[in-house]
Amino acid sequence: MKATIYDVAREAGVSIAAVSQVMNGKGKISEERRAEILKVMEKLNYQPSVIASALTGKKTYTLGLLVPDISNPFFAEIARAVEDQGHEMGYSLVICSTDNKDERVERYLSLLQQKSVDGMIIGTGMDNKEMLKPLMDRSIPIVMIAREMQDLALHTVVCDDFVGGCMAAQHFVALGHKRLAILAEHTKVTSSRERVKGFVHTLEEAGMTLSDHHVRNCRYTAEDGKREALELLELPPAERPTALFCCNDMLAIGALQAAKQLKLRVPEDVSVVGFDNTILASVTDPPLTTIAQPIEPMGKKVVDLLLLELKKKSQDKQRVVMRPELIVRQSTGAPGHVE
Amino acid sequence: MKATIYDVAREAGVSIAAVSQVMNGKGKISEERRAEILKVMEKLNYQPSVIASALTGKKTYTLGLLVPDISNPFFAEIARAVEDQGHEMGYSLVICSTDNKDERVERYLSLLQQKSVDGMIIGTGMDNKEMLKPLMDRSIPIVMIAREMQDLALHTVVCDDFVGGCMAAQHFVALGHKRLAILAEHTKVTSSRERVKGFVHTLEEAGMTLSDHHVRNCRYTAEDGKREALELLELPPAERPTALFCCNDMLAIGALQAAKQLKLRVPEDVSVVGFDNTILASVTDPPLTTIAQPIEPMGKKVVDLLLLELKKKSQDKQRVVMRPELIVRQSTGAPGHVE
DNA sequence: TTGAAAGCGCTACCAC
DNA sequence: GTGGTAGCGCTTTCAA
């Protein structure tokens, strides 16, 4: 059986209070008692119970991370960054894949609460933002990453999605594209909406427009992207876009697959830009031009904000916006030309 | 503040014992009291504390998953399968990326123990297997996935790595390759060792051999794979392999990149087979022929075994071996020919 | 300095 | 049926 604080105390001939003190480095203990207790802990291979400690008002040293799908490389990379930064400070990470379903979000929110996590990092969308209210009322620290929850006072770390969308558009415009289209995520995904806005904004500044049926909403799988891209690319030549802006790398892969299936060459017949710059972007055929999010810095920052909130409550909520970057690979070129 | 069992009891005018009983569906309670209590719980939005419950000898409903790196798609996909199956049964998942470093493994093992997780799923290698002993002595349920811990009586779920290696070799032999090479993982990775063994075995059965410098050990990143593949592919023509078996998809991507850098065509100049069939295999250029592991069934099975172990202890340890499958895409062909 | 004791929220046993 | 109560392992006053 596991050794408890009582075992240590008995073995060392002191009170449990003494043991507790040396563990927490509080109170006054003579050096020799301290040493003795430490020795006994070692000998018994004593592992203090976080559970018991947490019950006494201390922390659980556990954080929750809600994302749509941990098997999606983007979120897996986020998770790794978050895990590392948390681990640095002694925290563990519980992952929660929501599939963007409110019921799952709710379930996980409740579960994490019952498990008394010290804080939650939310990187998933949800239709009903009210779900977060109860948590905030109970002042459970919550921070957002890669998603915004407007109207809610929450620390938030995002990349500048609007600017990212602009960058993609600028790239296409500079290349000379005239017929553009977008593969967006579900409209409830704020980051995707911003990217679309930025893209459209830049296009309009350049005197171009985007017809509605050239903006397709997908879920977040490559299959979805492929299906929508197929429809786009099968339009009559005069309407068929020569450039596709995809709101994430997964969708871009779907677009690439669609192009391949239709025997369209990339980038000669159609250019594709993705978003996120996950590992996927570097291995596609051709390698994907994409807008990079600074995933690691974002993950680190969001943990820092959360831990900050953990100690000093009720400060100003920050909104940290990090700059995306256009990574030009080989999926983009001038329309109708070999690059 | 969060409502406690006392709040519910007071509000409902009953004892906490009564409340506890309705929560756990045990003991006898009159229907009306039951309904009343339920109503109060609802009203107070009562969330029972898993922490307190766990302290009383119950479970924490939390599982730990140790993998080398959650941002590696293979492990991310494993994690998703494990998460889902666990979630089904009310468990949460703590992810632990070890980077294959013993110190990190040890740290996480200790942390998970202090947090009283109900069980651990280990999908990472470690040099010193002794680290697991203390956990086993304390009879903390441990199961292995995609890794073996020989000499240790542990439930284990793996795919048949040896057979997987054989499949790769058979594929190459059937295609007519004569000069083969392997990109293996670190020798301490049992699964990789088995794959190499199977590969070599089949080769020898076909009357072929593999010289030592045609078997390279890498870590687990694409960069490593690329570096080693570069060396292999820069050998003089008479020694240069026409077929590369890579022990995972990441390494295969590195190989693909190496080939591209050297202006070698795949599969005309060099064929490449990967292992795992992660999402990466479907997006490479060209799409990767690979040996698929049944990731989802494996993840589900390992959770089942763990939960089984949770209830009835000390049963026979199972070793579940799942069958891999050759997925032929476009990175393999006959040597010197366009496929 | 040191330790006795009062909880933290919940479970389970036992007496009523 | 129902509720009192003794812990679970640890933290934290507060006396001594």
Q: What is the pLDDT of residues A106-130, one digit of tens each?
A: 999 999 999 999 999 999 988 898 9
Has residue A328 been placed in a domain? no
Do residues B114 and B174 share a domain?
no
Do residues B153 and B218 share a domain?
no
Task: Give the Cβ contact number of residue B28 at 10 Å.
Answer: 6
CA distance A181 to A200: 10
Do residues B183 and B252 share a domain?
yes
Do residues A170 and A272 share a domain?
yes
Do residues B63 and B166 share a domain?
no
**Cβ–Cβ below 8 Å for A70 and B73:** no
Domain-ending residue, one of B14, B30, B48: B48
Rounded to a whole number of angstroms, the distance from the CA of B102 to the nearest CA of chain A is 15
Whichever domain contains A118, its CATH number is 3.40.50.2300
Q: What is the pLDDT of residue B188?
A: 81
Rounded to a whole number of angstroms, the distance from the CA of A49 to the nearest CA of chain B is 5
Has residue A331 been placed in a domain? no
CA distance B44 to B3: 7
Per-residue burial over B57-95, b = 16 or more CB atoms within 10 Å of its CB, e = otherwise: eeebbbbbbbbbbbbbbbbbbbbbbbbbbbbeeebbbbb
| pTM exceeding the 0.85 threshold for the entire prediction | yes
Read off the tokens for A220: 């977040």
Q: How many domains does chain B have?
A: 3
Read off the tokens for B42: 């609802």
Has residue A329 been placed in a domain? no
pLDDT band at A27 (very low <50, low <70, confident <90, very high): confident
Select from B52, B77, B138 the Cβ nearest to the Cβ of A71: B77
- Give φ, ψ of A85 to 5 degrees: -65, -40
Pairing status of strand A271-276 against strand A155-159: unpaired
Do residues A135 and A187 share a domain?
no
Predicted confidence (pLDDT) at residue A337 exceeds the cutoff of 70? no
User: Is B80 in contact with B35 (CB distance < 8 Å)?
Assistant: no
- Give φ, ψ of B145 to 5 degrees: -135, 135
Has residue B184 been placed in a domain? yes
pLDDT in tens, A225-258: 999 999 999 999 999 999 999 999 999 999 999 9
Count Cα atoms within 13 angstroms, Cβ side, for A107.
17
Q: What is the pLDDT of residue A313?
A: 67
Q: What is the pLDDT of residue A200?
A: 97
Q: Which residue is nearest to nucleotide C2 (CA to C1')?
A: A18
Whichever domain contains B34, its CATH number is 1.10.260.40
Boundaries of domain holding A196: 161-293
Rounded to a whole number of angstroms, the distance from the CA of A266 to the nearest CA of chain B is 12
Task: Give the Cβ contact number of residue A336 at 10 Å.
Answer: 10
Residue ranges for chain B with pLDDT beneath 70: 1, 313-314, 337-339
Cβ neighbours of A287 in B, within 8 Å: 285
Cβ neighbours of A116 in B, within 8 Å: 49-51
Cβ neighbours of B246 in A, within 8 Å: none
**Cβ–Cβ below 8 Å for B79 and A95:** yes
